[in-house]
Amino acid sequence: MRFVDEFRDPVRAGYLLREIEGLAETIMRDRDRTIVIMEVCGGHTHSIFRYGIEKMLPRSIEFAHGPGCPVCVLPMGRVDDCVALAERPEVIFTTFGDAMRVPGSRVSLLGAKAAGADVRMVYSPLDALALARANPAREVVFFGLGFETTMPSTALTILQAQAEGIRNFSLFCNHITIIPTIKAILDSPDMRIDGFLGPGHVSMVIGTEPYDFIARDYHRPLVVAGFEPLDVLHSVWMVLRQIAEGRAEIENQYARIVPEKGNPASLSAVTEVFELREFFEWRGLGSIDHSGVRVRERYAAWDAERKFAVASPSIPDPKACQCGEVLKGAIKPWQCKLFGRACTPETPMGALMVSSEGACAAYYQYGGVELEQVP
């Protein structure tokens, strides 16, 4: 396939759907509950709803929407740290646009900007480094967040700052790792997931080997999936075929992009600049061991946490917010008491409503849920 239309071909989609229906019927002969497939990546969640894939599938197949949106799992305490840094008069605080509206305990970064803080949206950490070059009298802080997908660009920017001797640039590191997160979900006592759609962008960096433990230790299939409609349908078919045949393996549907061993240059930069934290707090999921990274001591001069003594308080979400249950696949977004009422994309209370990749935002925009039907 060379053109995007080929990945959205309705004839091929129809063929895959008939195959999926046949596999689902075979699997359901020996079970009394739905087949639950978790898509780990927020990009997959968006694709599933944008193209109506969930409604195409048999009712016996259910998607659980995992914690693959890094903006959505950012805890309130870390947002408060961002605001505190941004409010320092000497600081230019830079961030990706989808992090601007994540709620903190008192205000978001967008609210801090409205109140006078120098908060600027950038498209890459190199944009932030350029600001540091152009403003030598100011401290430029880049809000680094995301899974292994965005870690390499941040790491390479730190290396570039070191090479140029730019000392008024630093990183507030909130990068997180996918493997401990999936393990935490699998270890959850209420886990009822039958298989996974593995994240395509993360896997482009880390490869497929790190997922081997899912099949080996937990006996669940995982298929690394692309993001077009036929990618998702093909990956669902691959997961179902494994379940029907009694197999649990790691397969790569997205082989046109994802190598088995990952990207050596990216992994080398990440290993050089970052090390694992002992634990990191996730919004709605609590603290997960070794699920985040920090800047190594040798690059301390470019670490905002060391330079500004960041407090990192632990602040719980509002009691009525049920983001944690949604992230673990225990409930659907529309089952949350706040969904569509107190919590909307315009006035998000939970982080899953902020980013376009968040499950709640995807349901709100594409899910076809009538608000009068929401409990």
Instruction: Tell whether 105 is covered by a domain.
Output: yes
18 and 55 together in one domain: yes
Domain count along the chain = 2
Instruction: Tell whether 265 is covered by a domain.
Output: no
Q: What is the total residue count of the chain? A: 375
Instruction: Tell whether 184 is covered by a domain.
Output: no
Instruction: Tell whether 257 is covered by a domain.
Output: no
**Kind of pairing between the strands at 274-276 and 293-295:** antiparallel
What contacts 120, CB < 8 A, 6 or more positions away?
92, 93, 94, 95, 131
- pLDDT at position 283: 75
104 and 50 together in one domain: no
In degrees rounded to 5, what are phi and psi of residue 37? -115, 125
- pLDDT at position 372: 44
- Residue spans of alpha helices (H) in 91-124: 109-114
194 and 338 together in one domain: yes
Tell me which residues of the chain have a pLDDT lower than 50. 370-375
134 and 240 together in one domain: no
- pLDDT at position 126: 97
Instruction: Tell whether 319 is covered by a domain.
Output: no
158 and 109 together in one domain: yes
- pLDDT at position 356: 65
Tokens for 73, please give them.
């799992």
The CATH number assigned to the domain holding 337 equals 3.40.50.11750
Starting at the edge strand that comes first in sequence, how are the strands of the sheet with 169-175 ordered?
119-121, 91-95, 139-146, 169-175
218 and 247 together in one domain: yes
- pLDDT at position 328: 67
- pLDDT at position 2: 62
Instruction: Tell whether 285 is covered by a domain.
Output: no
129 and 219 together in one domain: no
123 and 202 together in one domain: no
2 and 101 together in one domain: no
The domain in which residue 214 lies consists of: 1-69+190-252+324-370
298 and 150 together in one domain: yes
**Which residue's entry shows tokens 């990945």?**
7
The CATH number assigned to the domain holding 94 equals 3.40.50.11740
- pLDDT at position 329: 67
Instruction: Tell whether 262 is covered by a domain.
Output: no
- pLDDT at position 216: 97
Q: Is the pTM of this model over 0.85?
A: yes
Q: Report whether 361 contacts 345 (CB < 8 A).
A: yes
Q: Report whether 192 contacts 32 (CB < 8 A).
A: no
- pLDDT at position 350: 73
62 and 91 together in one domain: no
363 and 296 together in one domain: no
